[in-house]
Amino acid sequence: MSEHGELRNTGMIEAFIFDMDGVLVDSEPIHRRAEREVMRELGFSIPTEEHNAFAGTTDKFMWGNLKERFQLPQSLDDITRLKQVTYRSMAQGNLHPMTGVLELVPRLALQYPLAVASSAVMDEIDLTVDSLGIRPYFRVFVSGRDVPNSKPAPDIFLEAARRLGMPPERCLVFEDALTGATAAKRAGMRVVAVPHALTEHFDFSTVADYRIPNLTYFDEKFLA
């Protein structure tokens, strides 16, 4: 970093793509609580480790799997709607940025186009970026409903790159979950894993180029 706070780029990376939940916002515990509440209402539960493995996937992917497994009579649309309503109720007024977000995002936005690529629905993306006051820094927002296949398929990151007008190999992705990091790697992008308490036990070594404790550890060497 220069003495003025600018990042020196060697020319490889030209855009940054952020996952949202667990990377930009400390919302994963809220999602897990909302999901457990919905499971309770539907009359079943799953082990915590199995539950955490769904981190980074869409509601449709997670609840589609659970609906089939537990033979739930409710429609998938009704189940995902219930989860989203429950989450928004719990999240309102309780969304806080992950460490380093309010410093790194504005700094990167001075020099690079930024995108959010989240498995969440757009209402949740809107709630998050507005609650954190970071909407102006991002040029592109891609939700899980904008692409046919959930992470770990690469669709959402390829769509973000397309909207940014960037080749995938020129994009760097920040991800907290193994499914998301796998998706970004399959898209041909550089991957920085930023795991938190719910995902730190995952082995990112085959899908992430770098692993850091939080965004304050971002280094210009990641751009080379």
Active site residues: 19, 21
The residue with tokens 């220069």 is 2
Any residues with CB less than 8 A from the CB of 95 and at least 6 apart, and which? 25, 26, 27, 30, 127, 128, 131, 132
By the 10 Å C-beta count (0-12 exposed, 13-18 middle, 19+ buried), 39 is classed as middle
What is the phi/psi pair of residue 159, to 5°? -70, -40
CA–CA gap between residue 167 and residue 189 (Å, rounded)? 9
In the chain, where do the E strands start and end? 15-18, 114-117, 140-142, 171-175, 190-193, 210-211
